C-alpha cells in the first residue's frame, strides 16, 4: 500500500474522463470520479466543470478524500452561472492521489453540470 517511487516509474498512462454530476452527497459512491488503484499514483492535471443548463446557476463541490480518512475541498458551494465553465485545477497546480484516495464531485441540481478530468496514472511495476 505505497505510492510508486517517482524516480522508478516504468509507465505513465494519460487519461481523460467525463462525468455528469449528481446531487448525491459528496461522500456517496455516486460522487466518486476517480479512485487511485493499488500501487498506483494518479496525477490530476486539470478538472473543468461546465454548467450545461442554459438558464439556471448550479452550485459545485469538488473534494479529495484521502483514503477515507479526511476530505478536503478544492471547491465548495461555488456558484457556476448558466452556460459557463469553472477550472478547478489547471496544469499549473496538479495534485496527486495515492492508493485509495478519491476525487469526488457533486452539483446542486441533477443533470446541470458535467466534469472533465485529465490525469495520468503512474506505475513503477
- The per-residue DSSP string of 83-100 comes to T-EEEEE-TTS-EEE-TT
Domains: count for the chain: 1
Does residue 17 fall inside a structural domain? yes
Tell me if 47 sits within 8 A of 74, measured CB to CB.
yes
Q: Is the dihedral of CA 74, 91, 44, 60 positive or negative?
A: positive
CB 102 within 8 A of CB 64: yes
Domain assignment present for residue 28? The answer is yes
Cβ-Cβ contacts under 8 Å for 72 (sequence gap 6 or more): 63, 64, 66
C-alpha grid cell, residue 57? 446557476
Q: DSSP state, 31? A: G
What local confidence, expressed as pLDDT, does residue 125 receive? Answer: 74
3-class DSSP assignment, residue 6: helix
Residue 87: domain span: 6-123
pLDDT in tens, 7-40: 888 899 999 999 999 999 888 888 999 999 988 9
Domain-embedded: residue 52: yes
Contact of 40 with 100, CB cutoff 8 Å: no
- Which CATH number characterizes residue 67's domain? 2.60.120.340
Query: Is residue 67 in some structural domain?
Result: yes
Q: What is the pLDDT along the chain (125 residues), one digit of tens a residue?
A: 566 677 888 899 999 999 999 999 888 888 999 999 988 999 999 999 999 999 999 999 999 999 867 899 999 999 999 999 999 999 999 999 999 999 999 999 998 999 999 999 999 87
Q: Is residue 107 domain-resident?
A: yes
Identify the DSSP state of 8.
G
Instruction: Examine residue 111 and state whether it is found in any structural domain, yes or no.
Output: yes
Residue at 76 is within a domain: yes
CB 6 within 8 Å of CB 68: no
In a domain, 1, yes or no: no
Amino acid at each position: 500500500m505505497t505510492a510508486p517511487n517517482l524516480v522508478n516509474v516504468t509507465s505513465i498512462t494519460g487519461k481523460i474522463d467525463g462525468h455528469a454530476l449528481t446531487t448525491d452527497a459528496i461522500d456517496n459512491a455516486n460522487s466518486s470520479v476517480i479512485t487511485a488503484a493499488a500501487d498506483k499514483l494518479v496525477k490530476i492535471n486539470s478538472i473543468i466543470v461546465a454548467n450545461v443548463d442554459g438558464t439556471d446557476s448550479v452550485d459545485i463541490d469538488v473534494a479529495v478524500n484521502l483514503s477515507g480518512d479526511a476530505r478536503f475541498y478544492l471547491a465548495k458551494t461555488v456558484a457556476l452561472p448558466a452556460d459557463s465553465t469553472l477550472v478547478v485545477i489547471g496544469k499549473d497546480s496538479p495534485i496527486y492521489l495515492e492508493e485509495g484516495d478519491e476525487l469526488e464531485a457533486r452539483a446542486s441540481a441533477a443533470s446541470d453540470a458535467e466534469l472533465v478530468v485529465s490525469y495520468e496514472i503512474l506505475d513503477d511495476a
